[in-house]
């Protein structure tokens, strides 16, 4: 997959830029895993590592399994075990994986966004991000 060639790339670029993010991803659900369909400022080795994310692995996989946003205050120093080692090569700090729900409340995608600042995102900001990712175009554009 060439993430830059997918229809989701321009959506991700606009979404990330409008919210002051520095990097991001869009993964679409494919059965019990997530498939990367767009990436912004993610190094090629990380793109390869997250091309397919199993349910429950890494921030995106945990967001898929829980149906809830999953965040870390500092991607570089997090020791929770939720951050995969390769993710630290992305020079960002605060990061969140946001599940995108379908009409039945099932996760259809996960959008990741990362920021240069360190710290936990406020509940209000997380709600605003969740509302924004709901506008992710449907699969099969």
Give which of 106, 109, 119, 40 is closest to 76, Cα–Cα: 119
What pLDDT, in 10s, does the model give residues 21-42?
999 999 999 999 999 999 999 9
pLDDT at 94: 77
Provide the 10 A C-beta neighbour count for residue 56.
Answer: 12
Asked if the model's pLDDT at residue 127 lies above 70, the reply is yes
Q: Is the pLDDT of residue 141 over 80?
A: no
Cα distance from N-terminal residue to C-terminal residue, the chain: 16
Predicted confidence (pLDDT) per residue in 62-100, tens digit: 999 999 999 875 555 555 555 555 555 555 567 899 999
Domains within the chain, CATH numbers bracketed = 3-133 (3.30.450.40)
Tell me the pTM: 0.86
| 82 contacts 74 by C-beta, under 8 angstroms | no
Q: 81, exposed or middle or buried, with CB in 10 Å at 0-12, 13-18, 19+?
A: exposed
């Amino acid at each position: 997959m060439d993430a830059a060639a997918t229809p989701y790339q321009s959506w991700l670029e606009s979404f990330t830029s409008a919210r002051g993010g520095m990097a991001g991803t869009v993964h679409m659900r494919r059965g019990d895993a997530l498939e990367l369909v767009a990436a912004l400022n993610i190094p090629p080795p990380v793109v390869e590592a997250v091309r397919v994310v199993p349910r429950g692995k890494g921030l995106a996989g945990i967001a898929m399994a829980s149906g809830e946003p999953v965040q870390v205050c500092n991607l570089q120093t997090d020791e929770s075990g939720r951050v995969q080692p390769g993710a630290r090569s992305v020079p960002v700090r605060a990061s969140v994986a946001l599940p995108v729900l379908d009409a039945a409340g099932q996760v259809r995608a996960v959008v990741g966004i990362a920021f240069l600042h360190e710290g936990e995102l406020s509940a209000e900001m997380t709600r605003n991000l969740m509302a924004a990712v709901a506008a992710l175009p449907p699969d099969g554009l």
